[in-house]
Amino acid sequence: MVLLGLRNGDELARRLLDFETNGRDLVWANTLSVIQSAPLSGVGSYLLGRYLQPPSAYCELWIGPNGTLACPDWVRNLGSPWLIAHNGVLQQLAETGPLGVLGLFALLGAVVWTALRLKDALSSAVLIGLLIATASDNTLLVPSPFFGELFWIVAGIQLARVETFRPAQGLVGGVALAVLAFPVWSAALAPRSDFAGTLLFFRAPALVESSRDYTVYSSWVLPPGERYRLVLRSCTQGCSVVNVTTLDTTERPQRNLSLSGDIRNVPEQHLQLQLYPARAGASAVSLATYEWTVSLR
């Protein structure tokens, strides 16, 4: 890391210390909307991607020989299982509900506690490192092209060493669950927004002939000198992003915008126009939300 730092200046250190989540707050917000639609049962293992994918998206897996995105029929029929919540707790909660989350972290608590108790340094490093990484990714998913197989091979070794279940195992699992579930409790405990921005004008059709190229016009007066993201979401059983644009109020506080994209091809859906800070943080709560219903003839 020192050598890389010498080559790249302080860029590497700044990135490691930067808590910007690269748009994951929008993914977390969409996942929370899916959880609200099925709070007890979840939507089913490996089925979350169907609800997170944009209405205009088709599944993609790799770049083909001709340089274009390829998606075999068998992958398309799976429903985007590799489109993830970018948080292990949210993923499990959305797919298997509260009971599935409790079961998973009871297992994880037993695995991590056993590795620590036996002073297995390598296994402890692998397990704890990948658990920390699941705060903003899904490093426990199997099959994955990255880390899931490694995690569960090491976890299986520890399970073979478990002699009896102890309260300390549940404590370790509970602490891990409480820490990694920060998108849930940060959204639940978020104070009521006192955002000073105002939506001055809004126009969008409530009845359309086609789901293609739906356009929303809006005018905002926002606190000057800031940058924001304006998000258009389509919501049925959960919400997914239709389009995102960036607002910069450095030069003028009032901005007139149009935002368009393909919405879901269903008889009726709710659309949301949401405002977020330009810098994505740990909170999935928007600064402002405007919602309306759209019907398709």
| pLDDT for residue 152 | 93
Length of the chain measured in residues: 297
Band the pLDDT of 101: cuts 50, 70, 90: very high
Of the candidates 104, 113, 84, 112, the one whose C-alpha atom is nearest the C-alpha of residue 24 is 84
pLDDT at 6 over 70: no
pLDDT at 77 over 90: no
Distance CA 94, CA 156 (A): 25
Alpha carbon 243 to its chain centroid, in Å, reads 16
Distance CA 284, CA 136 (A): 13
* Tens of pLDDT, residues 177-223: 999 999 999 888 877 778 888 888 999 999 999 999 999 999 998 88
pLDDT at 27 over 80: yes
Largest CA distance in the chain: 66
> Which letter, b or e, does each residue of 46-69 get, where b requires 16 or more Cβ atoms within 10 Å of its Cβ?
bbbbbbbbbbbeebbeeeeeeeee
* Tens of pLDDT, residues 33-47: 999 999 999 999 988
Distance CA 202, CA 218 (A): 4
| pLDDT for residue 253 | 74
Band the pLDDT of 58: cuts 50, 70, 90: low
CB 94 within 8 A of CB 35: yes
Please give the model's pTM, rounded to 2 decimal places. 0.87
Average pLDDT, the chain: 87
Higher-confidence residue: 170 or 6?
A: 170
| pLDDT for residue 205 | 94
